[in-house]
C-alpha cells in the first residue's frame, strides 16, 4: 500500500521581538513576539480543526447526519516541572442535537482518526469532555 500526501504545510518562523510565522502560501501570517503562547494557541486551533473533521468522518462511517454547530474548544497547557517542559490538552466538544451516548462514541472514535490525536497519543495527557 502506498500512501498519498494530501496536503503539505510549509512555514517559516523567526524569533525575537519581531518574530512571527508565515506559511509559504501566505494564508498564515502571524506575529509571535516572545514570550507569547502563540505556539500553544496555534496547536490548539490546528488540532481542534482536525478533530472536528475526524468527528465528521466517524459520523459518516456510521451514517449519522451531524447538525451544524459542532465545536471544539481546545486548551493547551505548557507546564514546567523542575525544568522539564510538557504539554497537556483539554478538548471540550459540543455536538448539539446528537444523543450524548452517540456523541461520546463519535468523539472517542475521532481520536483514532485525527492525525493530531494519533501524534500525541501516549505523549501528553489529553482530556476530552462532551459539553
- Spell out the domains of the chain, with CATH numbers in brackets: 1-33 (no CATH), 35-130 (3.30.300.20)
The four Cα atoms 46, 47, 50, 53 give a dihedral, to 10 degrees, of -120
Backbone φ/ψ region at 39: left (φ over 0), alpha (ψ -120 to 50), beta? alpha
The DSSP string of 16-63 is: STT-EEEETTSS-EEE-PSS-THHHHHHHHHHHHHHHHHHHHHHHHTT
Q: What is the pLDDT along the chain (131 residues), one digit of tens a residue?
A: 789 998 899 999 888 888 888 999 999 998 887 766 778 989 999 999 999 999 999 999 999 999 999 999 999 999 999 999 999 999 999 999 999 999 999 999 999 999 999 999 999 999 999 99
User: pTM for this structure?
Assistant: 0.87
Amino acid at each position: 500500500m502506498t500512501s498519498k500526501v494530501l496536503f503539505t504545510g510549509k512555514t517559516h518562523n523567526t524569533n525575537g521581538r519581531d518574530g512571527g510565522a508565515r506559511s509559504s502560501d501566505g494564508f498564515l501570517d502571524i506575529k509571535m513576539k516572545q514570550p507569547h503562547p502563540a505556539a500553544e494557541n496555534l496547536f490548539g486551533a490546528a488540532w481542534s480543526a482536525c478533530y472536528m473533521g475526524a468527528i465528521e468522518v466517524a459520523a459518516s462511517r456510521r451514517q449519522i447526519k451531524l447538525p451544524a454547530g459542532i465545536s471544539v474548544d481546545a486548551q493547551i497547557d505548557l507546564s514546567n516541572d523542575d525544568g522539564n517542559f510538557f504539554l497537556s490538552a483539554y478538548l471540550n466538544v459540543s455536538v448539539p442535537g446528537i444523543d450524548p451516548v452517540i456523541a461520546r462514541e463519535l468523539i472517542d472514535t475521532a481520536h483514532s482518526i485525527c492525525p493530531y490525536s494519533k501524534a500525541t497519543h501516549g505523549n501528553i495527557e489529553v482530556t476530552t469532555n462532551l459539553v
